[in-house]
Amino acid sequence: MIVVVCPGQGSQTPGFLAPWLEIPGLSERLAKYSEAAGLDLEQHGTVSDAETIRDTAVAQPLIVAAGLLTLSALIDGHLDLIGGVAGHSVGEFTAAAAAGVLTDTDAVSLVAARGRAMAEAAALTPTGMSAVIGADEDELLSRLAELGLEPANFNGAGQIVVAGALDALEKLAANPPASSRVIPLQVAGAFHTRYMASAVEALAAAAAGIEPGEPDLTLWTNKDGHRVSSGSEFLDLLVGQVASPVRWDKCMESFSRNEVTGIIELAPAGALVGLAKRALKGTPTVAVKTPDDLEAAIEMLENA
């Protein structure tokens, strides 16, 4: 089984969409996504600087739009060769569209509402996130409880992203768990924690008018890595995951149990393939960063 994975926030880089817009039809598709998001995604994906596209309200719809453009180029004649799909955090919106739970435009519109709501929630209290590498999980969780911090992303491969008040993150960095490193992340707030409660409410209101479809591909959730068979359940999970931890480690465990034989990461690709190389050793991977990578991805699908 070949699984397509969809990256989350932080994977974007200035100008990364430019080569994709040379493919006929993708510029017009992006214009449709821009209208749905209420943003000029072509500008942000081609000429906006790193600081601009780091803005949560910009980054989230931009990443989902990029994934959908990549997917449209990848699945042209090859949809039946894809065994399943999963997304990391905001990438779950890309995955929802890939599996038919959301339309492309609903996915982009809804994730734009998510980005705005999370940016507004982050502005209420100064918070941040740090990646902790190489810590014993139990020791780390105990230390987080002492400091009032929360685990936000269990990424697998020895990496857990934690979040909360800035002074508490500084204390963690000054006295980290044994044999671990603490790396501050350039994000606007404590995503996937209690600090995002108001964003959950806003996203639930935005999602209320959407009628989800049933997934037509195997679809895994960040909640706990289980396979979701109901579109309405997945939409509820999309709303709730704004303030709950991302269990990408559990998704990768599910890939292993389901005999996944290859992983293709959509643009802006690299992070999830990197985690898979460490946690799922021996599983072939392709990071589709530019159109030049499509040939290798399609070859993987055709040889599955």
Active site residues: 89, 192
Look up residue 65 and give its amino acid: A
Distance CA 109, CA 273 (A): 27
Distance CA 299, CA 23 (A): 19
Three-state DSSP class for residue 182 = strand
Residue that is written with structure tokens 């955090």 in the block = 89
Distance CA 122, CA 141 (A): 23
Q: Kindly tell me the burial class for residue 294, based on how many C-beta atoms sit within 10 Å of its own C-beta (0-12, 13-18, 19 or more).
A: middle
Are 140 and 132 contacting, i.e. CB atoms less than 8 angstroms apart? yes
Three-state DSSP class for residue 70 = helix
